Amino acid sequence: MSIIYTITAVLSAIWIVAADCLPEATLASGIVIGTTTSIASATATVNQFLGIPFAARPERFSPPTKPPAWTNPLNTSVQSPACTQQINYPERKRYLTDLFFNNPQAEESEDCLYLNVFAPSTAPPTGGYSVLFWIYGGSFRFGNAGQPLYDGSHFAAFEEVIIVAANYRTNVFGFPNSPEIPLTQSNLGFLDQRFALEWVRENIASFGGDPEKVTIFGQSAGATSVDALVTSWPDNPPFRAAILESGQSSVPLISDVGINSTESWVQLTTALNCSSTTSNLSCVRSADATTIQSIIEHAALSFRPVIDNVTLIPVQDTAAARAAHNVANVSIMAGTNGQEGRAWALIYGTTNLTKFLQEVPGMTPALQIAITDAYPIGAFGTSNEFEVIAQIYTDLLDTCPQAAMISQSASAGYPTWRYWYNATFANQQVLPDLAAYHSAEIAQVFTTYPPKFTAQQFALSNYMRGAWARFAKTPLAGPGWNAIDTFDGTDLGVLGTNGSSGVQYQGFKHV
C-alpha cells in the first residue's frame, strides 16, 4: 500500500514512497521517476534521481537555458554522460589522471547538463531537509557528477540531508575565452553551476528539501568554484554556507602564472584552420567535438576561468570585498590534506629539486634560493628530493593559499572553521606512498571508500560525513570544533592523524 506524505503548503510538493512503487517528484519541467537503494544498517531506503536535465542541451559556447518541458514521466534511474573531457597526453598523465579523478571513465557528450539527487525516502522535517550541493574538481579540464566517489546515498541514509551533484562544462567547452564571446559569458562552466543552483532553489522542495538551507561544497577546482560563488554573489545567494576542500579562488597560485586562455584559443583556431575565417567562433562551433578534444589534449592547451566581475572577481579584490561585506554572508568551512602535493609530484614526474624550481612559472632566481633554503632535506619529515618537491607542491598550491583565504574570511568577521585531513588508508593508495594526497578525503566524506576498509576508516568516515552534515544543518554552530578566533588559537580541527577516528585540536592563528 502506498504511503502518501503531504509536505507543507510552502514546499508545495507531494512525496510518495512505497515498497511496491518507485519514487517520483514533480518539477517545473515535468515529473521524474527515480529509483531506490538500501544502505546496510540504515533504517530507511534512499531515493535516487540520476540524470535530471537542469538545462537544455547547450549550444556550443553559449550560456545554459531552461530545459524543454516533458509530458510523460521521465525515467531518471541512469547516470547521464559527462561533459566533454580534456585529459592531456602523454599517456602517463592520462593514466594517472584516470586513477585519481576519472575512474571509471564516463561516456562523454556536449549534451551533459544533468544533475543527480540523493534524498531520504522518509517524510521531511518541518520546512524540509537541508541540502548539500556538490561541485566536482578536475582542474577545470575534466570531471563529472556521476563518479561513484560522489554517490550521496550515505548522506541521505544516515545524516538525513539531500545531496545534489551537477555536471558543468570544463576546458574549452566551459571556458573558451574567445574574443568574440562577451566577457560576461566567457565562464560558461560557472554559469552552468549557477543555473543548477537556481534549479535547486526552484525544484528541491519536490524532493523534500528546503531551498533556504543549501550548502555548497566542492574539492580542488570545485572548491575554487565554491569560493568564486561566495565572493561574486553578495546579494540573495542560493546558499547559506560553503565548504571548500583543497581549493579557493581568493589567493593567486604561482602555478597559474603565465596561463593565457586567449593564446590557447588562437592555437586551437589555427589547428582547426579557422584563423582566416570571418568568424573564428562560428568556425569552431561547427567543428567536430572529438577533433577539438584531440587538439586541446595533445597540445595540452589551457582554458581557465577569466575575470569577468560577474562570476569571478580579481584576486586582489577579494580581501577588500570580504572586509566590506560585499560577498555572500555565509558560514565557511575550509581545509586541506596533509600530503596534497604527492599526487602532483608523481603526475609531473620531477625528482630533481633544482630542475623543478626552474620549471615553475614565475619562479625567480631569488625565490628559488629562498625556497631551497626553506625546504632542506630532512625538514617536514622529508628524506629525499622527491618528498621535498611534494611538500613544496603541498604548501604552494594548497595549504598556504587556503590558510590565507581562511584568514580573509575570519578577519572580516564571517563564521569560519578550518580542518586538516591527515589519514592514510591502504585501500585508497592508488599508487604507492601517496599518504593523504589531493582528493583523498572525498571518499571519507561520502563514505565511498573501496572494500577492505579498517575500523579507523569506517569510524573516521562516519565522523566526517556527520561533521559536513552538521555544518549544513546548523552553519552558525559549525561542524563540531572551534571556529577561527574563538578559543585562544586552538581552533584547527585535525582529522585522521595518528589513527584518530574523530577530531583533534591544534592551534591556528590567522594573520
Cα separation of the two ends of the chain: 61
Q: Which of 80, 220, 249, 331 is catalytic?
A: 220
* Whole-number Cα distances in Å, 351 to 342, 413, 429, 432: 11, 42, 20, 16
Report residue 91: phi and psi, to 5°: -60, -30
* Whole-number Cα distances in Å, 219 to 134, 150, 216, 358: 9, 11, 11, 29
Q: Residues near 56 by Cβ (< 8 Å), separated by ≥ 6?
A: 64, 65, 66, 67, 68, 113
220 is catalytic: yes
Tell me the CB-side half-sphere exposure of residue 359, using CA atoms within 13 A: 12
d(CA 419, CA 492) in angstroms, rounded, equals: 6
If DSSP codes are grouped into helix, strand and coil, which group holds residue 309? coil
Q: Give me the sign of the Cα torsion angle 259, 262, 263, 264.
A: positive
Q: Residues near 386 by Cβ (< 8 Å), separated by ≥ 6?
A: 345, 351
Q: Give me the sign of the Cα torsion angle 406, 410, 411, 413.
A: positive
Catalytic residue list = 220
